[in-house]
Structure 1
Amino acid sequence: MHWQSGTAQLLPRLIARRTRGPLFLTDRKAPAGTPTLDVCPETGRARLSYRRAEEIFEENTRILANPLASPEDIEDLDGWTLHRLRHSALTHDAEDGTSTPMLLARSRHASVRSLERYARPGVDAVARHVAERDPAARRRNR
């Protein structure tokens, strides 16, 4: 795995002095029969499932995803998904001109076709791209 500097700086705080066991845990003890690798040796709590992590993330991003919503309506609205979070970096990289092979490698997608939905630059990114490659502008900036 490759981490950008912001994430790399937060990981030591999350990990603390832990040397083994899952990092994201449920609120209660693991049920009997849970595989040993999925149980925290310190607390006995189970690894948080992707489904539950998705629920927690969605619930806690409702206000961010709906900044104009009233507090009474927030419970009925959707927040962001982990899938959206994962692929937002791909969209930003595509807007910044990252090559298709690099986007494929980072996303671990097998084909360009599956990458298409994330690599759609916005209007501002297209305008910036055109401006940066404008021959007249390059001559003026010399």
Structure 2
Amino acid sequence: MAPLPPVEYAVAVEHYLAASGLGEGSRRIYRIALHTWAWALADRPAPTGPGRRRARPPVLPLALLDHPGAAARLRAAVEHRSGGTDPRTLNRELSTLRAALAWWRGQGWITADPADGLRPRALPAPDTGPAPLTPEEVRTLFALRAPLREQVLWRLLHESGAPVETVLALDVDDLDLVHRRTHPSAPLLTWRAATARLLPLLLAGRTAGPLFLTTRRAPAATPAPDRCPHTHRARLSYRRAAELFTARTAGLTTTSWTLRQLRVPARAKHPGPAR
């Protein structure tokens, strides 16, 4: 006898995530996205800022997705969030909702698709920003004496070409060390020999939690996904990583370097000093 469908939206979210095969870090991101849409379905504004992760979503019946007004509420939420949300983030969260809706329909728990007709937001023209560091500048950077954490972060940013935020959001269990890449459940990153040599030293037996950690014990209010279960230290923030990079590279040049300048576009990658 088939199990009864869940009554609550939040319970259906957990069923979907459990069946998704995603890693812990990816499930956390998907959960936040799906909970955000719960506020829209309840016709209430979603929390923003740091409190978004910890906010309890409204309790909703899953059957609300079959209500004729659900599609209009989602459309209104997309329009409202378009004014203050990065379009890449909004498009990713729309994709997450569509995947969950398709899975729930496949289970026979709902019949409608309230996301039908929602279109991805247009992306802004790319911001070129400061030019990437030259090969000579990269060699100068990697010749600096720096803590292991910074060495791994800088090399991973340079070799993967990934955004800083994506790299700092990585968890230990996202990494496929043997194949020098992330697992399919995480954003796709690859790296070369220099990063591959240093990563095992940085992990030092850790099997879970954030890849890049602060040097101090995490405050009590730190969410569990952002705290290492082995060392109880917190995930390194972009602000702190940028401060450390600026401090370490001060005096190397007349202009300040930024972490984003380590990211080399795929079409312009070069072997440089990463061998």
TM-score (norm 1): 0.49
Select the structure with the greater relative contact order (CA < 8 A; seq sep ≥ 6).
2
TM-score (norm 2): 0.27
